[in-house]
Structure 1
Amino acid sequence: MVRSLKKPKKIKHRNKESKKGDSSSSSVPSAPAKVWEPGVDKLEEGEELQFDPSAYNYLRGFGIGWPCLSFDIIHDSLGLVRSEFPHTLYGVAGTQAEQASWNYIGVFKISNISGKKRGLVPSATGDGDTDMDSESSSDEEDDVGDASAQPILQLHKVAHQGGVNRIRAMSQKPHICATWADRGHVQVWDFASQLDALAESNAQSSQGGNSINRVAPVIKFDGHRDEGFAIDWSPVVTGRLVSGDCNRCIHLWEPSNDSWIVDANPFVGHQASVEDLQWSPTEADVFASCSVDGDISIWDSRIGKSPAVSIKAHKTDANVISWNRLASCMIASGSDDGSFSIRDLRLIKGDSLVAHFEYHKQPITSIEWSPHEASTLAVSSADNQLTIWDLSLERDEEEEAEFKAKIKEQANAPTNLPPQLLFVHQGQKDLKELHWHQQIPGMIISTAADGFNILMPANIETTLPSA
């Protein structure tokens, strides 16, 4: 159970200018490249990590001011499956400000995302205004001044009481969002006006501003006895919501006219804090939960307030879960010990474990199946890694030998990586949450203590539907 962001500071991203023609740097022979192994290798004095630009179709950092523990991507009307640059995305994010009264929800739009420009991960240095600047390698320095390659961030801020533990947007009505506050209440918001303003804007430069607007929530529920982090909208029933707290209770929200009726009688079955919730992608009344007690529970709201079935999924806290929307029998979960597991719900009363990985060195903070490939999922960890896995991959010794022989010409590659490990992204500190973009195949957004990253790994191939 690792959730808080320590010592939040306002984020500003600045360019680091490389010095061309510096004779001192050019005269020093470069050391042979080496693949960095987190948890194994250590940086010596004067060493720094560099990424391979060819590994990404796109990589860019941005921030909305304060660090964000949670965010969500807004479903837009720009196309169900978009594969051509430039891209535009919409999102909502909740802050973890230094003082409770400074918190807000950021409703944002990022446009002009061009794959021809690969930016480095920005650094967070001191206070400042929101911007989209990012560092650039010396090889690409000539492109930094090209305005057509710069992404544009536009942001509307809405005041929020206390820090935002988690925020989720409804897929059927994307302007409706729910937030879990660290003060112990859950609120539902209507951001239609903010999103309409962003959609109608044709700004040619980044816009942030410091003004924070005050908007009344549609509903505020104070029935939880403690704060919480678990919340999810049903993908089957429009407006149906569940929220879970650190006091083991889960409440069901039913839409009613322009508001919601929250069942005061909670679902109770876990022995400790409810950490995450996920509705079934196919069943209207079924949802899953995971808990600090290490269990995953499946609930059916038609048959009472106790779990239909519970299994001991992990030896330590079960932090996060993800229900596969393309293969609804599969559910993934991540634990405090750094491991994550895949289970087949058709075998839930027996041996349902399909796969178990112990690659990460610190607690799993987020896990999510790809919306475009049923066998692919992404994982983030407190070890500052975001990894992408393809469960359909198997070890091929002949192919592996050929690859190792080739890669050794460029770098000393690790030899003990799982064959299902498809991609490793680093550079963010204290990673908290990730999401695949539902409409842009291969795009992932992640949040951490030092801001957001948008990344599109070059080796993530997605099968697009035929025209």
Structure 2
Amino acid sequence: MVRSLKNPKKAKRKAKESKKGSSSLVPSIPIKVWQPGIDKLEDGEELQFDPSAYNYLQGFGIGWSCLSFDIIRDSLGLVRSEFPHTLYGVAGTQAEQASWNYIGVFKVSNIYGKKRDLVPSAIGDEDTDMESESSSEEGDDAGDGPAKPILQLHKVAHQGCINRIRSMSQKPHMCASWSDRGHVQVWNFSSQLNALAESEAKRSQGGNSIQRIAPLFKFDGHKDEGYAIDWNPVIPGRLVSGDCNRCIHLWEPSSESWIVHENPFVGHKASVEDLQWSPTEGDVFASCSVDGNVSIWDTRLGKTPAISIKAHDADVNVISWNRLVSCMIASGSDDGGFSIHDLRLVNEGGSVVAHFKYHKQPVTSIEWSPHEGSTLAVSSADNQLTIWDLSLEKDAEEEAEFKAKVKEQANAPEDLPPQLLFVHQGQKDLKELHWHQQIPGMIISTAADGFNILMPSNLETTLPSA
């Protein structure tokens, strides 16, 4: 159970900092491959990212550190593959004092990246909050350099730190937030999103003013704070929220408000850490807990689990229900391992069809790709974000060919799982990641030192184009 990100320091960072530790170690010639948890930096050495590994890589911040965020579905196209890109999001802060917190509704535009050009672009002014780190086809306003991404931000006051925040897919302007003060609130951010959509892009964050608006609904029925919350993808407005006191409450929409069931779903023996609705059945959701279990619930069958799976020997921090292969659920644990469960095998003695123990610290986030059913991304407290393709298998001939190519790299890893596609580093204390539902291959992640937007180049061949 590794969650807290109460950091009194703001998440301001220079672009140079966002590049450290992303892919390889470049102290001097020859280049070495950096092995997290094994290698150590010597005096004068620093980590540098390999520009050819990314179609796009960018860091930015919204002020205070952020434990949780969500990507907001927009109307710019269901599947977008052509640069430049624009994205919208909502994020909650972890400020030093409760009254300083806010929810940031943001827009990042002017995202120019590489298509097939693997030549890194020149590095510009390192003192800007946002800086393009990949080649572009368009120049900036002066016409003499790579186009720079633009961040626009509206801040909405929030009492207490935001443990988790989620946007409703059917009505993206509706967001639910979990406060460390023990209440769950629903917000309408339509005016903020409309203002971002209609405003001309400027190279600023829109000032430091914080708006004060009232939430649409507030639920104080939880007996403790919590982190688990999820909107139903099948029934608009239906919500579940879980707390550290083992209780899960069901929310039913009712005329622009909600009726929250007073009697909670109870089945776990310890804190409920995460919740996920089934992608296909509006009455079925999954939960995970510090008790090591993943449970499946059917709201039509009462307040106890329909299925309980002993998923890990340690706390289960996060789960993700595969929206393309609905029988698959991924779970991430406090011991650094993550597992893939096939619900069709529950009654046959075991649901685990794959287990990986690559990460050295607790898994903090896990999510299936919305565009490729065998691919998922994982973040960990070991400061790594990894991408996996479970359809890959070990090929002796390809492995021998690879080793021949890297024979000059003395410390090239030899025991990496064949399913491991990509390793991203450079962020400190990674907390949450999300794939962009409408931009194939794009991942956004948050950490103690800010956000990263990344598009690994080796995902290009497996993801569909518009």
TM norm structure 1: 0.91
- What aligned pairs does 1:188-337 form with structure 2 within 5 A after superposition? 188-337=186-335
Q: 1:119 to 1:305 in 2, by over 3 A?
A: farther
Residue 430 (structure 1) aligns with: 429
Residue 460 (structure 1) aligns with: 459
Q: 1:167 to 1:55 in 2, by over 3 A?
A: same
Residue 364 (structure 2) aligns with: 365
> Cα distance, 1:16 vs. partner?
5.3
> Cα distance, 1:13 vs. partner?
2.8
Residue 149 (structure 1) aligns with: 147
CA distance in 1, matches of 2:170, 2:388: 28
Contact 2:130–2:150 (8 Å) recurs in 1: no
> Cα distance, 1:352 vs. partner?
1.0
Residue 39 (structure 2) aligns with: 41
> Cα distance, 1:14 vs. partner?
3.0
Residue 128 (structure 1) aligns with: none
> Cα distance, 1:354 vs. partner?
0.6
> Cα distance, 1:348 vs. partner?
1.6
Residue 5 (structure 1) aligns with: 5
- What aligned pairs does 1:125-204 form with structure 2 within 5 A after superposition? 132-134=129-131, 146=144, 149-204=147-202
State the AA in 2 paired with 1:388: I
State the AA in 2 paired with 1:390: D
Deviates more, 1:416-425 or 1:112-121: 112-121
Contact 1:132–1:206 (8 Å) recurs in 2: no
CA distance in 2, matches of 1:147, 1:429: 30
Q: 1:58 aligned to 48, 56, 62, which one?
A: 56
CA distance in 1, matches of 2:123, 2:46: 14
Q: 1:121 to 1:258 in 2, by over 3 A?
A: farther
Q: Deviations over 1:33-81 (max 9, x none)?
A: 1111111111112211111000000000000000000000000000000
CA distance in 2, matches of 1:415, 1:122: 38
Is 1:396 matched up with 2:423? no
SS of alignment partner, residue 218 of structure 2: strand
Contact 1:58–1:119 (8 Å) recurs in 2: no
State the AA in 2 paired with 1:8: P
CA distance in 1, matches of 2:306, 2:457: 42
Q: 1:199 to 1:57 in 2, by over 3 A?
A: same
CA distance in 2, matches of 1:122, 1:363: 35
State the AA in 2 paired with 1:256: S
State the AA in 2 paired with 1:358: K
CA distance in 1, matches of 2:140, 2:355: 43
Q: 1:14 to 1:465 in 2, by over 3 A?
A: closer
Residue 414 (structure 1) aligns with: 413
SS of alignment partner, residue 210 of structure 2: coil
CA distance in 1, matches of 2:217, 2:452: 32
Q: Deviations over 1:209-264 (max 9, x none)?
A: 11000010000000000000000000000000000000000000000011111001
CA distance in 2, matches of 1:324, 1:420: 17
Residue 20 (structure 2) aligns with: none
State the AA in 1 paired with 2:66: C
- What aligned pairs does 1:73-152 form with structure 2 within 5 A after superposition? 73-116=71-114, 132-134=129-131, 146=144, 149-152=147-150
SS of alignment partner, residue 296 of structure 1: strand
> Cα distance, 1:452 vs. partner?
0.1
Is 1:381 matched up with 2:383? no
Contact 2:121–2:146 (8 Å) recurs in 1: no
Q: Deviations over 1:383-405 (max 9, x none)?
A: 00000000000000111110111
CA distance in 2, matches of 1:171, 1:197: 20
Q: 1:318 to 1:121 in 2, by over 3 A?
A: farther
Contact 2:163–2:177 (8 Å) recurs in 1: yes
CA distance in 2, matches of 1:466, 1:136: 23
State the AA in 2 paired with 1:453: N
State the AA in 2 paired with 1:255: P
CA distance in 1, matches of 2:153, 2:441: 24
SS of alignment partner, residue 427 of structure 1: coil
CA distance in 1, matches of 2:306, 2:31: 53
Contact 1:162–1:182 (8 Å) recurs in 2: yes
Q: Deviations over 1:172-198 (max 9, x none)?
A: 000000000000000000000000000
Q: 1:183 to 1:310 in 2, by over 3 A?
A: same
Q: How many matched pairs?
A: 446
SS of alignment partner, residue 149 of structure 1: coil
Q: 1:122 to 1:256 in 2, by over 3 A?
A: farther
State the AA in 1 paired with 2:209: S
Deviates more, 1:215-224 or 1:6-15: 6-15
Contact 1:386–1:424 (8 Å) recurs in 2: yes
SS of alignment partner, residue 239 of structure 1: coil
> Cα distance, 1:132 vs. partner?
3.5
CA distance in 1, matches of 2:330, 2:93: 27
State the AA in 2 paired with 1:258: E
> Cα distance, 1:347 vs. partner?
1.0
CA distance in 1, matches of 2:285, 2:323: 13
Q: 1:463 to 1:44 in 2, by over 3 A?
A: closer
Q: Deviations over 1:270-327 (max 9, x none)?
A: 0000000000000110000000000000000001000001011000000000000000
Contact 1:57–1:118 (8 Å) recurs in 2: no
SS of alignment partner, residue 459 of structure 1: helix
Q: 1:40 to 1:16 in 2, by over 3 A?
A: closer
Q: Which runs of 5+ in 2 are unaligned?
A: 18-26, 115-119
SS of alignment partner, residue 109 of structure 1: strand
CA distance in 1, matches of 2:394, 2:203: 47
Contact 1:93–1:105 (8 Å) recurs in 2: yes
